[in-house]
Structure 1
Amino acid sequence: MGSDVRHVRGEAQKELVKKFEVFSSNGRSRWQVWSDWITMSAIAVSNATDQSHFDEREKQYLSIAGKYTRPEMEAFTEMLALLVVALEDNPEQDFLGELYMCLGLGNDHSGQFFTPYHICEVMSAVTTPTEEFQQKIGDRGWVAVCDPTCGAGALLVAFANECRKKGINYQTNVLFVAQDIDYIVGMMCYLQMSLLGMPGYVVIGDTLASPSVSYDKRGLLPVDKGNVWYTPMLRISVWQYRIFMAQMELVTQSIRKERVADAPKSEPQKSPEAPKKLEKPKNTEKPKAAKKPQRAPEQEPVFSEGKGGQLSFF
């Protein structure tokens, strides 16, 4: 098998492929090497700031690392460093997505194909008319965007770059939410979002069967079953304040509901008796009582549109 260097563009991608091919020459599966590198890199980023999932992810990291020699682990570190430098030099690219497809790692049986980055740029430009978008931020304080089939995150990355071009600080004004059914692809998205300073989170799961939901209407408090990966930028003070306020709003809502439920109910007054000697009206048919609207059964919280804003789906 010939080298894959000729299929990629850019010096950073070429250098990364050269290091990646060393593992293949040692008889290791290309897919396994890629998935292990992506997983360990994502865990290293996550565990630096997210203590809620630290133990289980650290255990997973050590389990994977045990399969590799020290020189191989050093090669993984160098590959991550190349990714960091590449995105810092040129944030307007889908570095991992392009590399993933060029190396032939996509799942053909699942119809896995990533939208080219230049197409994502056009879609993002159409989605964010400057005046309308800035007005939403002015009215709501910030907005949230979601890609329910994120892949490696090209569409969200392009959206962040479009905001930057239009003078919108996406690090403080935009919450990015991504979801994908493929674990490794979701981790690729998480890495690129994290390294580009995009506040938000990635949910691993089937969007159709188990769409990402949140306890609050704006997506700050996602229902986390261990499948949510929070980017480091979500830990800065402005987002932590918003998360705290969303938590307080939920608490006050529950207290108000409890007070209403515990309030004493006054007995209905009896209507005075009608006179005995009264002629019955000709029309004795009783008017049909209006049906009371049935209360919807309780279910898991979902994103809903409201005056405060909601997630916008691409």
Structure 2
Amino acid sequence: MDVKGLVALADITHGRMLRRTAFQDFVTYAALFISNKFDPVHLAQRTEAMKGLLRDYTSQEQAQFSAGLHEFVCQCQENVVHGRYKDLLGMAYFELGLGGRNGQDFSPPDIGEIVARLSIPASLGDSALPEQGFFTIMDPACGSGMLSLSAAEHMAFRGYNLCQHLVIQANDTALCCAHMSYVQLSCHGIPAVVIHGNTLTLEEHSRWYTPAYILGNWVWRCPLPFAPGRNLSDEWLKMAQDPMYMAIRRITWPELFPSVKKECETMEA
């Protein structure tokens, strides 16, 4: 699916809903669908969110969302095979005139390429790694994820295995932007944590783990808290992946488990 096809998804209600609303809902649908397939931590909450979103659309429109996501995933996979990491959602976002409405200004792809070349030093040589064995990229105002995608494309060109050698933390104050970054980083197979939050105040509203981040056990290799200290979602993800870690946490962090906390208080009394 190209940019034209993504823009066409904004018209699936034939005027019943605003184009920007339909497009943003498609992006939300895609983010929720991907998260619910891989993320056990937020599954219950986001399953309910998906039900609420789909209530506004007919069964035919829901089918168009599903088909659109399938085509988008296939397009991303084809782009990866050819070494291209395009910001398709960002281009569609601006094609619909949504950026100017919110006072947003996304960086053009050429700038992304320049930043990627400057950020990954040529002195390392192709496929050379930093001491920790992987690169970490922080994108504090990620928009649709263009800068992160440009960095990924540059690293892939230089011979790095992105699933093993790159992890990204991307943040944005706009939920739609966080969703666009999450969907595109997920569909390009990049380990990442995308945060809907304020980089300046460190206020976190929601956390989105890409499939590659979860399947690659990156929460153990490189946890990415937003504020100082352990992140609660990270802890729950670790416990979901390792029953032994959950058993330890039930003892060392009983406030996470109300029944255990109550039992401890009873024993102390």
Q: TM-score range by the shorter chain?
A: 0.7 to 0.9
Q: Deviations over 1:16-39 (max 9, x none)?
A: 33343232x242111211121111
1:152, CA displacement in angstroms?
0.3
Give identity over the alignment, percent: 28
Q: Which residue of 1 aligns with 2:32?
A: 43
Q: Which residue of 2 aligns with 1:116?
A: 108
Q: Deviations over 1:72-93 (max 9, x none)?
A: 0011112212221222222331
Instruction: Provide TM-score, normalisation by structure 2.
Output: 0.76
Q: Say which SS state the counterpart of residue 170 (structure 2) adopts.
A: strand
Q: Say which SS state the counterpart of residue 97 (structure 2) adopts.
A: coil
Runs of 4+ in 1 over 6 A off after TM superposition: 133-136
Q: Which residue of 1 aligns with 2:163?
A: 171
Alignment CA distance shift 1:143-1:35 (3 Å): same
CA separation in 2, counterparts of 1:87 and 1:81? Answer: 10
Instruction: Provide TM-score, normalisation by structure 1.
Output: 0.65
Q: Say which SS state the counterpart of residue 204 (structure 1) adopts.
A: strand
Structure 1 gaps, min length 5 = 1-10, 212-224, 247-298, 303-314
Q: Deviations over 1:92-132 (max 9, x none)?
A: 31100011001111253x42011111220111012112333
Contact kept, 8 Å, 1:198 with 1:231, in 2: the verdict is yes
CA separation in 1, counterparts of 2:177 and 2:166? Answer: 22
1:301, CA displacement in angstroms?
3.2
1:237, CA displacement in angstroms?
4.2
* Structure exhibiting the larger radius of gyration computed from Cα positions: 1
Q: Kindly provide the amino acid, as one letter, of the partner of residue 221 in structure 2.
A: R
CA separation in 2, counterparts of 1:134 and 1:301? Answer: 35
1:136, CA displacement in angstroms?
7.4
Is 1:233–2:212 an aligned residue pair? yes
Is 1:73–2:65 an aligned residue pair? no
Q: Which residue of 2 aligns with 1:301?
A: 229
Q: Deviations over 1:194-231 (max 9, x none)?
A: 000110110101111116xxxxxxxxxxxxx6611000
Aligned residue among 2, 20, 36 for 1:12 = 2
Structure 2 gaps, min length 5 = 231-269
Structure with greater helix percent: 2
Q: Which residue of 1 aligns with 2:97?
A: 104
Is 1:196–2:188 an aligned residue pair? yes
What value does the CA root-mean-square deviation take over the aligned residues? 2.3
Aligned residue among 42, 45, 48 for 1:59 = 48
